[in-house]
A and B are shown apart, each in its own frame.
Chain A
Amino acid sequence: DTGVSQDPRHKITKRGQNVTFRCDPISEHNRLYWYRQTLGQGPEFLTYFQNEAQLEKSRLLSDRFSAERPKGSFSTLEIQRTEQGDSAMYLCASSSYRGRVEKLFFGSGTQLSVL
């Protein structure tokens, strides 16, 4: 399977700990997105990259959150000093942007539970 993969699938942590998630996009895709989804809600945009450049960050992304995409391949999303309100599904998506309306391919997500 050459879809978008995310690791881990589930993460349980204690409040105040740092966590890091990884996303491996489809190999030829130049854009990579992070979304957050809470129970009963649709995904909310967090940030996106074109190649290695982070082009936009949502105001939802507080300074405790940082995302990187070194070398324009995989991406990591780190949350420092986690809070219970950070509990959510974190979704990664990738696309091959060629100046047209994009089709996003989503991973299955990382479910974070902060105790």
Chain B
Amino acid sequence: GNSVTQMEGPVTLSEEAFLTINCTYTATGYPSLFWYVQYPGEGLQLLLKATKADDKGSNKGFEATYRKETTSFHLEKGSVQVSDSAVYFCALTMLYNQGGKLIFGQGTELSVKP
């Protein structure tokens, strides 16, 4: 079946460090890919998305590129801030008209220290 695998957390970084959170997927077909973020005490929020191969999603300094050849959608940020501390979820959807039916990874907790 379709699935998403993320790197295990927690990830602890110092402020201004470079961030990579790995995400790989298994899908029969061509999914759309997403990163959602969950700040403490808040609901999940869409961070960025990519709908076809080689698309790059970006938002708030975060980027992820849809790599069909490696079935990956790794999240990167050049310089993290304490305010980026949150849980990050990679997700996919298979059906264009059921884009809200998401398959999530297990989440990766990020903790940024000053």
Contacts and interface: CB of A to CB of B under 8 A. Distances in A.
Contacts, number: 66
A33 interface: yes
A48 B93 contact: no
B113 interface: no
A104 B103 CA distance: 13
Interface residues on A, range: 20 to 34
Contact of B43 (A31, A42, A95, A108): A108
Interface residues on B, range: 20 to 34
Nearest to A55: B98
A21 B56 CA distance: 38
B106 A102 contact: no
Given A107-B43, A108-B43, A43 B102 contact: yes
Contact of A42 (B46, B99, B106): B106
B96 A42 contact: no
B42 A108 contact: yes
Contacts of B99: 95, 97, 100-102
A90 interface: no
Interface string A61-100: 0000000000000000000000000000001010101011
A45 B103 contact: yes
B104 to A, nearest CB: 3
Interface of B: 4, 32, 36, 41-46, 49, 51, 89, 91, 93, 96-107
